[in-house]
Chain A
C-alpha cells in the first residue's frame, strides 16, 4: 500500500513534511510551558511573599495544566532529538560536531534540571515544605529558559553559521572559539524574540481563561487576578515584542536578505524605495505579486528607515536559491497581524483600567477569549517564516536541504509520517481536550494540588492549604 501511495513522492519532501509536522507540534508545548513555568514561579513567589491564599490556589490551578503540557512537551521533544539522525543523517554527519555539542549542553544543563525538579514541583509540596518547593519551581522555570538558550543557539547557527571551519569530508568543524558558534549573529535576536513570544502566548492563554470565568462570574477573585496579570503582560510586553521583532527583521536583512525579500514579496529590485504589500498573491512562476495592495515606499521605511532607500529583490537571486515565497509572505503577515491584535488588546485593557471597567467589560472579555490561542498561531507562523525563508538550505548558504537527508526509501518515511500524524492528532488531541477541561473548572479557594487529585492513592493525608500558609 505504502509503495503505491508514496512510490512516486520524493523521500526528501516526505522527510521535510515529517520534520515540519513533528517540530511544529512539539513547539506548541514549550511555547506554553516556558511562559507557564515562569508564571507559576511568580504565583508561588507572590504567595510566599504576601501569604495570600489566592496565589496558592492559582498556582495549584495552573500546575495541573502545566503537568499535562509538560508531559506532552517531553514526549514530543524526544522525537526531535532523534529526527536529526533518522531523517537527516547526512546533515548529522556533516554538522554534528558543531550542532551536537550545543544540544548536549541543552540536555546537561536544562533537561536534567527541569526533569529532576519536576517531580518535587508536582508532588513534593508537603514533603519538602514551601521554600524548598519554591526552589524546585524556580529550577524548572530556569531550566525551560536554558533549554531555549541552547536550542535557539543551534537553530541560529544553522541560519547564520559562524565560527566553524570546513573539514576534509565537507564537515563543519568547530573553529578557534565556541563563543563565535554559540553567539552567532542571529542568536541574540532570535532568543529574545522567541522567549518573549512564549511569555505572550502564555499571557493570552491565561487571559482567555480569566476572561471566560469573568464572563460567568465577574466577582470571582481568582479570575480577576489571572485576567489582570495577563492584561498587564499584553499591554507591556506586546510593544516590546514588536520592537524586538523589528530588530530581528533588521538582523535578518543584514544576514539573510533573501529571506526578507520573500517575506516582503519583493520579486523585483526597487532602486527608489520599495512598497510594503498589505495583501497579494505571490506568483513565483511569473515572479510577481498578483492582486497587490501596497503602501508605496513603506518597506524601505521599515527596513532602512528611509522611504527612498534602494532594496534588492529576488531578481538578483537565481531561481534555485529562492525560498517558496507564497508560504513565507503569508506566514509573516499572519504573525505580524496577530502581534498587532495583541497590542490592541493590551491597549484596550489599559483603557479599561482607566475607566475602572477591567472586570466589567464583557466585550473585552470576549475579545480576550478569542485571542486565547492566538499566541500559538503567531509562534508557528513565525517559525514557518524563518524556517521556510531559509530554504533551500539547512546550514544557510553552505548545505542544501536536498543534500542533508538520510538515504531512506520513500515508503519508510511515508509510513512513519502517517504514523506520526495519526498518533499525534489522537494523543495530543486528547491532551488538549484534558487541558480545556481543566481550564473550564472554576478556580476556587482551597484549590487541590496535583498530588491530591484525582485517584485513590493521591487523596489521603494532604495538608490543607490553610495549614501550609501558617507554616511559612
Chain B
C-alpha cells in the first residue's frame, strides 16, 4: 500500500481528522444524551453542565466535516448525501431536538421532562443515523456517471443497522467516561457503572462489525488478510485488545482521565481500521479521492486557511475547555 503524498491525500487526512474530531467531541455530548434517562434529578443537571459550555463548538466539527467534504471532494458529497438522504435528514432533525434542549429545559421547568426526552431522543437518532451512514458507505453505493443511481432505501440493511448500534454504544462509552471526568457523588458512581456496560456493548459491536466487513467486499478481505498487508493490519485488533484491557482495568481502579482517553484510543483504532478498508476510495469501489477531489486551486486556497486558522481554533478551543476544567459538581459555573 504505497501512498503518494499529494494535495488530495493531504485533504483526505484533513477531512478524516475533522470527522474524527467530531466523533470524539460531539460523541461524548451525544453519549451523555443517550445515557440521560438513567440519570435522575440533580444528576441530570450535572450531566448537562458537563457539556453545556462546549457542545456548540463540538458540533461545529460536523459542519467542518460536511462543509469540508463539499469543498474538497464535491463529487463524494454529491453522491453520498443523496444516497443516504433519509439518514441525513433524520440526523439533522435529531440534532435540532438535541441542540435546543440545552436551553429550553432551563427556560421551561414545567416541560423539562419533555425537553429531557427530546435531548435523549435527538441524541439517539443522530448517533444511530451517523452509524448507519457509515455502514451505508462501507456496504457500497450504486453510482452511475457522476450521480447516485440507487433507490431511496438502499442504505437499509442488517449491516448498516449493526454499524448504527455500534456508534450508539461507542458514543455512550465516550459519554460515560467523560462524565467520570466531570461529575461527583452519586452521579460519579453511576457513570463508572455505565461506562463498564457501554464498554462491553461497544466491544461486542465493534467485533461484530469487524467480522462482517471483510465479507461485504472481496477487496476489504484482501486489504486485511493478504500478505504482507496482514503484518500491518493485524496490529489493529491487537492494539484494540490491549486498549480494552487497560480500559476495564482503569474503570475498576476508578481512574479519572484514563477511561476517557482509552475510549478515545478505541475510536482512533476504529477510524484507522476504516481507513485501511476504504483508502483510497471515498465511495467504495466506484469513486477514489482523486476522482472526487476539487481542483488544485481550491485545495491550495483552503489549505492556506487550514494552516493559518486551525492552530488558532485548537488554541481557543483548548482555552475554553481549560476555563471550564474540573468537576462541575453540584455548584455549576461560578
Contact = CB atoms under 8 A, between A and B. Distances in A.
A207 B152 CA distance: 49
A379 B74 CA distance: 31
A128 to B, nearest CB: 6
A36 to B, nearest CB: 15
A26 to B, nearest CB: 11
Interface stretch (A96-104, A194-202, A256-264, A298-306): A96-104
A7 interface: no
A412 B85 contact: yes
B228 interface: no
Given A82-B81, A109-B309, A459-B332, A71 B66 contact: no
B57 A127 contact: no
B88 interface: yes
Interface in B51-70: 52-54, 56-57, 59-60, 62-64, 66-70
Contacts of B82: 85-86, 89, 406-408
Nearest to B308: A108
Contact of B309 (A108, A434, A461): A108
A79 B146 contact: no
Nearest to A409: B152
A166 interface: no
A451 B148 contact: no
Contacts of A111: 60, 63-64
A119 to B, nearest CB: 3
Interface in B301-334: 301-302, 305-306, 309-310, 313, 316-317, 319-320, 323-324, 328-334
Interface stretch (B42-50, B162-170, B242-250, B264-272): B42-50
Give chain A's interface secondary structure class: helix
Contacts of B79: 89
Contact of B147 (A75, A89, A420, A461): A89
Given A112-B57, A434-B104, A461-B331, A75 B96 contact: yes
B261 to A, nearest CB: 22
B99 interface: yes
Interface stretch (A273-281, A345-353, A366-374, A423-431): A423-431
Nearest to A458: B332
Contact of A101 (B57, B103, B301): B301
Interface stretch (A167-175, A213-221, A316-324, A384-392): A167-175
B71 A103 contact: yes
B152 A124 contact: no
A93 B145 CA distance: 12
A46 interface: no
A79 B92 contact: yes
Given A89-B79, A119-B56, A122-B53, A416 B89 contact: yes
Contact of A427 (B72, B96, B109): B96
Interface in A319-341: none
A99 B74 CA distance: 10
A86 B106 contact: no
A441 to B, nearest CB: 11
B104 A93 contact: no
Contacts of B152: 408-409, 411-412
B334 A101 contact: no
A120 interface: yes
B222 interface: no
Interface in B129-154: 146-149, 151-152
B294 to A, nearest CB: 4
Contacts of B100: 71-72, 75, 427, 430-431
B320 A120 contact: yes
A126 interface: yes
A268 B334 CA distance: 67
* Residue from B53, B57, B67 having most chain A Cβ neighbours under 10 A: B67
B316 A116 contact: yes
A419 B99 contact: no
Residues of A in contact with B, size category: 35 or more
A78 B63 contact: yes
A451 B328 CA distance: 12
Nearest to A181: B301
Given A81-B63, A123-B333, A86 B295 contact: no
Given A82-B66, A437-B107, A462 B334 contact: yes
Given A120-B53, A457-B49, A108 B306 contact: yes
Contact of B81 (A85, A99, A112): A85
Nearest to B96: A75
B64, B79, B107, B330 — most chain A CB neighbours (10 Å): B107
A78 B62 contact: yes
Interface string B235-278: 00000000000000000000000000000000000000000000
B218 interface: no
Contact of A169 (B104, B109, B146): B146
A415 B332 CA distance: 42
Contacts of A77: 63
B74 A92 contact: yes
Contacts of B106: 453-455, 458
A119 B57 contact: yes
A68 interface: yes
B59 to A, nearest CB: 7
A100 B72 contact: yes
B66 A451 contact: no
B75 interface: yes
A62 to B, nearest CB: 14
B102 interface: yes
A74 B62 CA distance: 12
B97 interface: yes
Interface in A436-454: 437-438, 451, 453-454
B77 A92 contact: yes
Given A71-B102, A89-B81, A101-B302, A427 B66 contact: no
Nearest to A463: B334
A206 B295 CA distance: 47
* The 10 nearest A-B residue pairs measured at CB: A96-B74, A100-B71, A119-B53, A85-B81, A461-B334, A75-B99, A93-B78, A89-B78, A115-B57, A104-B71
26 contacts: A74-B99, A84-B77, A85-B81, A85-B82, A86-B89, A93-B146, A96-B71, A100-B67, A101-B301, A103-B71, A104-B305, A107-B63, A108-B313, A109-B309, A119-B323, A127-B324, A415-B86, A420-B89, A424-B96, A430-B108, A434-B108, A453-B106, A454-B109, A457-B45, A457-B332, A459-B332
Given A112-B316, A175-B297, 12 more contacts: A74-B59, A85-B82, A101-B71, A103-B70, A106-B67, A117-B316, A119-B54, A169-B146, A173-B297, A427-B100, A457-B332, A461-B331
Interface of A: 67-68, 70-72, 74-79, 81-82, 84-86, 89-90, 92-93, 95-101, 103-109, 111-120, 122-124, 126-128, 139, 167, 169, 173-175, 178, 406-409, 411-412, 415-416, 419-420, 423-424, 427, 430-431, 434, 437-438, 451, 453-463
